[in-house]
Structure 1
Amino acid sequence: MTAQHAAQTITTLENQKIRARFCNQGARIMYLGLKNEGNDPVNIALGFSYIGDYARQDSYIGATCGRYANRIAKARYDNHHQNTVQLAANEGENLLHGGPEGFDRRIWMVMEETASSVVYALSSPDGDQGFPGNLHCTVRYELAGNSLRCEISATCDAPTIVNMTNHSYWNLSGRFDGSAADHELQIHADQYLPVDNGLIPLPGRAEVTGTTFDFRTPRAIASPEELQAGKIIEYDHNFCLSGRRGTLRKIASLFHAPTNRRLTLSSTEAGLQFYPARHFTPDMTSQDGKSLHPQCAIALEPQTFPDSPNRDDFPSPFLNPGDTYSHVMVWQIEG
C-alpha cells in the first residue's frame, strides 16, 4: 500500500516476536514491544501514547534527528573553507539536533507501508535552520524476526552537512519508573571524546583504558552502591567506534540480567553518543501512566562525531550534490 499524506499518522508493524509503532511526527519509534507467550508485549522503547505529547517536550524521544544530530559549536561552520554558514542556535550559542525546528518536529510524508515496513520522506528547503541546499531524505523501518532495521538516506542540490540518527531511549525491563543504570553496557570503542562544559569536544581523543569510559567488556552502567544512593550517572559523550565507517557492524549492546534481555545495536557510522538520560521529570509519564524516573532509559545514538564540520580530524559530515548520505542501524533483541 502506498500513501502520500502529511496528517499525523501512526503505523503498526508486527510479527511473531515484535510489535512496533511508529509515527510520522519526527519519523519516530513510539513503541517496541517484545512478545511473551500468553502475555501482552513488553515495551522496551520509551514513548508516549499520543503524538501530541511529543511536541510538548524536547527530549527527541524515539525521533529521527537532523539535519545534524548532536552539537555544532557556536552554531556555525566553514563550508569547505569558502564561507561561514550560520545556523540556528537552540542550546545557548550552540546548535543541537538540527536547531529549534529540527526534523524531530516535522510531519514527514508516509511514502509506503507494507506488512513489515514503513517509509517516511521529508524535504528540507535551502536555508532551513540555516543549512544550505534543498535536502531530500527518507527513513525506512523494517521488521525482520527479532530485529528492527532503520535505513536513512539523503541527497542535496548544494554542498551541505548531514548527520542523522535515531534517538530512542531503551529500558529492557519495560519499566520506566525506575533507573535503567542497572543495565550492563558494552561499547566497541577504544577512544572517546572529552568535552567542555557545553558538551563540545575538546581537542584530541582520549583512550578509554583505565577510565570510567571503558565499556569494551560488558559492565553495569552504575554500581549497586550508586543505584542504592540514587546517583544520576553523568555520561553524555561520543565514543569513537572500532571498525570502518560505512560498514554495518555491531557497535554496542545492552543487557538486563533480571529479565535476561539483550539489545544489540549495529551501525554504519563512526561514533556513538551514550546518554543515560538524567533530565526526565515526574510530570512526564510513560504509556502505562507511571511517572518517569529521571534516568529511566538509555540513549545510544550512532552518528558521526559532534562538531565535525569544525574539526578536520573528525569523520566528515559534508555532502555534495550527486552524492548520497546513508546510515543504517539495526537493533536486535534477545530474551
Structure 2
Amino acid sequence: MRSSSAIQEFGVTADGTQVHRGILENETGMRVVILSFGGIIQRLEVPGNDGDTANVVLGYDELSSYEADEYYLGAIVGRCANRILDGSFTLGGVTYQLDRNDPFGTMHGGSASLDKRVWTMEAVDSPHACGLELTITSCDGDNGFPGNVTITARYELLRDANVLRLGFEATTDAPTIVNMTGHSYFNLAGEGSGSAGEHLLTVDADAYLPVTAELVPTGQFEQVDGTPFDFRAPRRISERIRTGHEQLRLGRGYDHNFVLRKPLDGSRFARAAHLVEPESGRVLEVWTTEPGLDVYTGNFLDASVVGAGGRIYRQGDAIALEPEHFADSPNRPEFPSVELHPGEVYRSRTEYRFGTVGAGAAGVPA
C-alpha cells in the first residue's frame, strides 16, 4: 500500500461555494478524509487488533448536514475556542463585544465562525508525510473580534505510522485573541457503535478547572485527587459519571478543562491523554503543546443527530479530546494568555497517535 494525498470536489454550500475534500492514506492502512468546509475531519479510519479498519469519528455523509450541524462534529474551532463569559473581553483598555451564540455568551468563536466557512485547501506532501494545508482569513470585526487574522491549519499523516498531526499558525495586524483546536468526537469501537462509556481514559493532569452554572471556569485549579476527575490511571469513562458530583451535574457529564502536567506556557510537547477501547483493542494517544485538554463526553447529543449511514448519535456515544488554552482565558489573567499581537506568530501543535493494545499508539511498543 502506498501513501498518498488527493483532493476532490465534495459539494456546494447553500450560498454556492465549492467545497473540496482531501483524502490522506498511509502505508499502514490509515485513511483520513478532511473537508475544506470547517477544516472538518469527516472520516478517520484505523485498524484494530484483528486488522479490520473502522471509522472512529462521528460525522455526516452530506455537506448540508454539516451546514446545519450544531455540535461542531470534526470541525476546526476558533478564533477563540470554548466559552467566553458574556461574550466580551478587554484588551489594551478596549472592551470588545462578541457575537453571542449561547445563553452564557460566546462559544467557539460565535455564530457561523470558522467551523462554518470554506477554507482554501492544497496538498503539502513531504518525504515523511502526506498532508493538506488549509488557510483562511478572519477579517477585523468578524463576530466582534479585532484584527485581520490569517490562520493556517496543516494536517499531516505520517507515511509509515498511524499518526495524524494538526498544526496551527496565525498572524494578525492588530492586537487580538487566538485559541484554536480540533473538535473531533472519537469512538474507537467505530462511529455509530453506541456508547463510548467503556473506553479506558487516562489524562495526564493533576488538576482540572471547576465551572459555574454557565459552564465557565471559576478560576480555581482543583486537584483531581479524590474526585471523579481523577484519570491519572486508566478508568472507564462511565465509571463515575453518574456519581452525583456537582460538577458532573452542571456539565451533564464531563465538559471540563484539565490542567496538563507540563509548563503552562506551552513550551513542552507532551502527552495529554491515552484512550483504549478494550474490545477492538484500538488505542489513541493525544500529544500537544497546549496547556489544557478539554474533555467532553458528548453530553448534548440527544438522539436528534443522524450521522453517517443514518446512525443516530446519543449522549455519551463519543468523547472529544480538545487540546487548547483554557475556557474564558481572555477574562482570566491567572490563565495562560491567548493574546496575539502584530509581529508575533501563534503556533499550536497536536498529534493523534493511533495503535492497538500490546503495540501501543502509532505501533510503538507501550
1:202 and 2:218 aligned:
yes
Structure 2 match to 1:9: 20
Cα distance change, pair 276–93 in 1 and its aligned pair in 2 (3 A): closer
Instruction: Kindly indicate whether the alpha-carbon contact (under 8 Å) linking 1:177 and 1:293 is maintained by their aligned counterparts in 2.
Output: no
1:135 and 2:138 aligned:
no
Instruction: Kindly indicate whether the alpha-carbon contact (under 8 Å) linking 1:2 and 1:111 is maintained by their aligned counterparts in 2.
Output: no
In the TM superposition, residue 2 of structure 1 has moved relative to its aligned partner by 11
The correspondence of residues 110-125 of structure 1 with structure 2, limited to 5 A, is: 110-114=121-125, 116-125=130-139
Cα distance change, pair 332–127 in 1 and its aligned pair in 2 (3 A): same
Q: Which amino acid aligns with 2:80?
A: Y
Q: CA deviation digits over 1:166-193, x for unaligned, max 9? A: 0000000004241111111111111111
The correspondence of residues 254-265 of structure 1 with structure 2, limited to 5 A, is: 254-265=275-286
Cα distance change, pair 36–278 in 1 and its aligned pair in 2 (3 A): closer
Instruction: Kindly indicate whether the alpha-carbon contact (under 8 Å) linking 1:185 and 1:221 is maintained by their aligned counterparts in 2.
Output: yes
Q: CA deviation digits over 1:53-92, x for unaligned, max 9? A: 1111210111100000000111111103x11111111111
Structure 1 match to 2:255: 236
In the TM superposition, residue 223 of structure 1 has moved relative to its aligned partner by 2.7
Structure 1 match to 2:102: 91
Q: Percent identity?
A: 38
Instruction: Kindly indicate whether the alpha-carbon contact (under 8 Å) linking 1:193 and 1:206 is maintained by their aligned counterparts in 2.
Output: yes
Instruction: Kindly indicate whether the alpha-carbon contact (under 8 Å) linking 2:49 and 2:281 is maintained by their aligned counterparts in 1.
Output: no
Cα distance change, pair 140–203 in 1 and its aligned pair in 2 (3 A): closer
**What is the distance in 2 between the residues matched to 1:50 and 1:147?**
26
Structure 2 match to 1:191: 207
**What is the distance in 2 between the residues matched to 1:44 and 1:309?**
33
**What is the distance in 2 between the residues matched to 1:175 and 1:60?**
16
Q: Which amino acid aligns with 1:106?
A: R
Q: Which amino acid aligns with 2:118?
A: I
Structure 1 match to 2:67: 55
In the TM superposition, residue 224 of structure 1 has moved relative to its aligned partner by 9.5
**What is the distance in 1 between the residues matched to 2:348 and 2:255?**
21
Give the stretch that moved more between structures: 42-51 or 262-271: 42-51
**What is the distance in 2 between the residues matched to 1:12 and 1:86?**
39
Q: Please, what is the CA RMSD of the aligned residues?
A: 2.3
Structure 2 match to 1:179: 195
Structure 1 match to 2:12: none
Instruction: Kindly indicate whether the alpha-carbon contact (under 8 Å) linking 1:62 and 1:168 is maintained by their aligned counterparts in 2.
Output: yes
Q: Which amino acid aligns with 1:191?
A: A
Q: Which amino acid aligns with 2:90?
A: D
**What is the distance in 1 between the residues matched to 2:258 and 2:164?**
23
Q: Which amino acid aligns with 1:237?
A: H
1:329 and 2:350 aligned:
yes
Give the stretch that moved more between structures: 39-48 or 114-123: 39-48
**What is the distance in 2 between the residues matched to 1:2 and 1:182?**
35
Which residue of 34, 40, 45 corresponds with 1:22?
Answer: 34
Secondary structure in 2 matching 1:254? strand
**What is the distance in 1 between the residues matched to 2:190 and 2:227?**
30
Q: CA deviation digits over 1:191-249, x for unaligned, max 9? A: 111101111111321111111111111111113996xxxx9961111111111213211
**What is the distance in 2 between the residues matched to 1:91 and 1:283?**
19
Which residue of 312, 316, 319 corresponds with 1:298?
Answer: 319
In the TM superposition, residue 42 of structure 1 has moved relative to its aligned partner by 0.5
Cα distance change, pair 233–184 in 1 and its aligned pair in 2 (3 A): farther
Secondary structure in 2 matching 1:179? coil
In the TM superposition, residue 285 of structure 1 has moved relative to its aligned partner by 2.6
**What is the distance in 1 between the residues matched to 2:155 and 2:254?**
28
In the TM superposition, residue 48 of structure 1 has moved relative to its aligned partner by 1.1
Q: Which amino acid aligns with 1:53?
A: S
In the TM superposition, residue 124 of structure 1 has moved relative to its aligned partner by 0.6
Secondary structure in 2 matching 1:152? strand
Instruction: Normalising by structure 2, report the TM-score.
Output: 0.85
**What is the distance in 2 between the residues matched to 1:187 and 1:37?**
23
Structure 2 match to 1:219: 235
Q: CA deviation digits over 1:70-119, x for unaligned, max 9? A: 00111111103x11111111111411000012110110011335481100
Q: Which amino acid aligns with 2:318?
A: A
In the TM superposition, residue 279 of structure 1 has moved relative to its aligned partner by 2.0
Q: Which amino acid aligns with 2:23?
A: T
Q: Which amino acid aligns with 1:138?
A: T
In the alignment, structure 2 segments of 5+ residues that lack a partner are: 10-16, 243-248, 357-366
Instruction: Kindly indicate whether the alpha-carbon contact (under 8 Å) linking 1:48 and 1:54 is maintained by their aligned counterparts in 2.
Output: yes
Structure 1 match to 2:84: 72
Which structure shows the bigger proportion of residues in strand conformation?
Answer: 2
Q: Which amino acid aligns with 2:303?
A: P
Secondary structure in 2 matching 1:53? helix
Instruction: Normalising by structure 1, report the TM-score.
Output: 0.93
